[in-house]
Amino acid sequence: MVETRRIALAQIAPRLGALDQNLGRHHELIDAARAAGADLVVFPELGLTGYQLQDLAAEVAMRLDDPRLATLAGRTRGLSAVVSFVEESADHRLFIAAALLEDGELRHIHRKLFLPTYGLFDERRFFAAGDVLRATPSRLGVGVGLAVCEDFWHLPVAELLALDGAQILINVSSSPGRDLAATNEVGLGTATSWRTIMRTFAQLTTSFVVFVNRVGVEESISFWGGSEVIGPTGELVFGAPLFDEGLFVGDIVLDDIRRERIALPLLRDERPELLGRELARVIAERAGLAPDSTAEPGSQDGLDVAPELPPGRPIGFASPPDPLRRRRRAAGPRSVKPA
């Protein structure tokens, strides 16, 4: 028998700061996903709060023991859901979090590891960065790995999740649309970049990749949607359109993971002991705890090249004036006696 799982992509436009209203929308879509026979429904990054929170972040934050989160988890009898919100820790730090809810319980929590602070983003100003990355068992019958948006723009995340047992990698995102150009795959540079990343990670880890991105507009920033499920061969299984809100449902075949991992054993042949040893060396060298094995002889700690002579005259600038010549010009012409 072919073992399948039905996945629902909840490509929504949450209202900024309207936690209760967004919670209600999540309840509705979880019920709709169950009615559609879904085994898993995935919501986008900060789908419970909206993205451009800034100083609103503390007002909409929830602890993991918040009754509203428990009520939402109670809605997941017989299915799995991934939701995202602002989590407040016991020591009052705020995190962008994604949670796996299953059979009425909070099964796993992931705190966003990499907080972008460039371009349109200023997350590090308002949120703390997570420091734990783990895959988790799931009622789906396979390991699940959660990541949040920018996490997937850093190479180790997908690899570590797959090595830790994940066979379905789930990335929830609030990606704004940028770089409108007809030269890109779909006329949107952001979508082209994300599709390249997802296909690469799916193929290199021989895993399913589920990407759910929000839609709508906040503070003049437009979010483009384009949620997708990519198979372990790197091919598109099904996806949602750009910019349209909705619940989009499709099936995956779990046997595809086994077939691809046997035919293309890239994950089997990874060398985590090599990676760990070399990373330990790089960390020690960068911290000045060990000599830099790639630096030039004579270089200072933390530098790749040896100190050189003071910089010479910049290209394109005249030579500094000679003080003696300047005094001579100020004194005027001199008379010379004939021989």
Give the catalytic positions in this structure. 45, 112, 149
Which SS3 state, helix, strand or coil, does residue 297 take? coil
Query: Which residues contact residue 284 at a Cβ distance below 8 angstroms, ignoring those fewer than 6 apart?
Result: 290
Residue with tokens 């072919």: 2
φ, ψ for residue 235 (rounded to 5)? -95, 150
Q: How far apart are the first and last CA of the chain?
A: 117
Q: Is residue 13 within 8 Å of 245, Cβ to Cβ?
A: yes
Q: What Å distances lie between residue 33 and 10, 224, 258, CA to CA? A: 9, 22, 27
Phi, psi for residue 123 in degrees, rounded to 5: -70, -35
Q: What b-and-e string marks burial along 82-121, b requiring 16 or more CB atoms within 10 Å of the CB?
A: bbbbbbbeeeeebbbbbbbbbeeebbbbbbbbbbeeeeee
Q: Give the strand pairing for 80-88 and 40-42.
A: parallel
Residue 173: beta bridge partners?
Answer: 213
CA dist., res. 100 & res. 301, Å (int): 44
Q: Which amino acid is at 24?
A: G
Q: How far is CA 198 from CA 84, 87, 161, 193, in A?
A: 20, 26, 14, 9
